[in-house]
Amino acid sequence: MSHKRIPKRKAAIAAGSVAALGAAALLLPNANASQDGAEDTTAAPKTLKAGDASDLAGQLAGLLGDAFAGSYYDEDSQQLVINVVGDNNQLVVQAKKAGAAVRQVDNSTAELQSATQTLKSEATIPGTAWAVDPRTNKILVTADSTVTGEKWDTLESTVQSLGSGMATIQKSAGTFKTFASGGDAIFGGGSRCSLGFNVTAGDGSPAFLTAGHCGVAVDQWSDSQDGAPIATVDQAVFPGEGDFALVKYDDPATEAPSDVNVGGGQTVQILQAAEATVGQEVFRMGSTTGLADGTVTGLDATVNYPEGTVTGLIQTNVCAEPGDSGGSMFTQDGLALGLTSGGSGDCTVGGETFFQPVTTALEAVGATLGAGDAAGGGEAGGEEAGGGEVGGEEAGGEEAGAGEEAGVGDQSGAGVEDGSGLTETP
């Protein structure tokens, strides 16, 4: 496939595509001051978009210090909920005045972090994962179907040793594995993965982000099955402190635009990278299953894949399947959040899916989301991107992928996993 100049008509589609995904309106925040000018200790929580709630949570974490015990976004009320430990009423008043809903909880951040370290040292078992759930103020530990017998006994006893009210265990019917493939299909060495977001590398060259387990498996990637390579892996991390790779286009004139094709002629323009928030509604694009949506359920998750342990991931209830790895997770208003890593289940029965935070990956590889339509300055997805049909009807078909101009060509369906679950082979 040739890499031609991209027409500007796609730029006009972005606004319509956001509406198609049901973008929420940003409402004005409530006033916090009382009529007589005195401090209002019962200030009503502000109505916020999820991205604004994430920013406010970061500010309040610094303000509250050790009293801060996590936060989450209440999608129904569109409010930020802050967990606070201790009885410092002044801090509570400040958090309320800033616009957050505040609730008192028992477990501090330090206690929860100490408990996760215990899990790491005593229960790092393939097929397990854990993350702090701020909605319950506990650690949610998940075990897949391979965790049985002595493994289950070890996990259960370790959780019990943390003390009452510190952690809970849930079973997953599937098996934790990486999902080789993603939003826009890319091919290499008989494997298929997905392009996540187009970026500009530190040296100014056009590149894209994908899953690290794709980058360590194959060095060169094509935009079509059995096609000539168009991009080469520059950096890759997996397993360890993340699951991400920077892949540079071989042609420095390649245009790497800032959108994700969600099918049906619709694209969502990516405006910037952002931190995810628990409770936030998100969308995922993958070359196998197309577009799927769900909610962020945990941050800084640890996942014990068969290939090794990966830390610092985003946990969600968005479905995914083999062939979706590396694909983009984003919001309806154009925030790039994550790269599909792996999980359990499928898009029939559901399950857990984990994502590499985009902000962490960008910082690690020294790249930035693009600077417009100039060559080498684009972002996610590709303006000529061909994504799966909304809801996944055409996922894995000819139009599923990161986008023509972003290194994505025809698709060949879900493929077949190899024994490791790391890659898919046609």
Decide: 116 and 163 in contact? Cβ < 8 Å.
no
Distances (CA, A) of 304 to 140, 298, 311: 14, 16, 9
Cβ neighbours around 416 below 10 Å, total:
11
- Name residue 360's beta-bridge partners: none
Distances (CA, A) of 341 to 10, 17, 51, 138, 232: 29, 25, 22, 24, 20
Report d(CA 207, CA 238) in Å as an integer: 19
For 238, residues 6+ apart whose C-beta sits below 8 A from its C-beta are 211, 212, 213, 215, 216, 244, 245, 307, 308, 310
Decide: 147 and 127 in contact? Cβ < 8 Å.
yes
- Per DSSP, the three-state class of 158 is helix
**Within the chain, what is the greatest distance between any pair of CA atoms?**
73
Q: What are the residue numbers of the active site?
A: 213, 243, 325
**419: exposed, middle or buried (C-beta count within 10 Å: 0-12, 13-18, 19+)?**
exposed
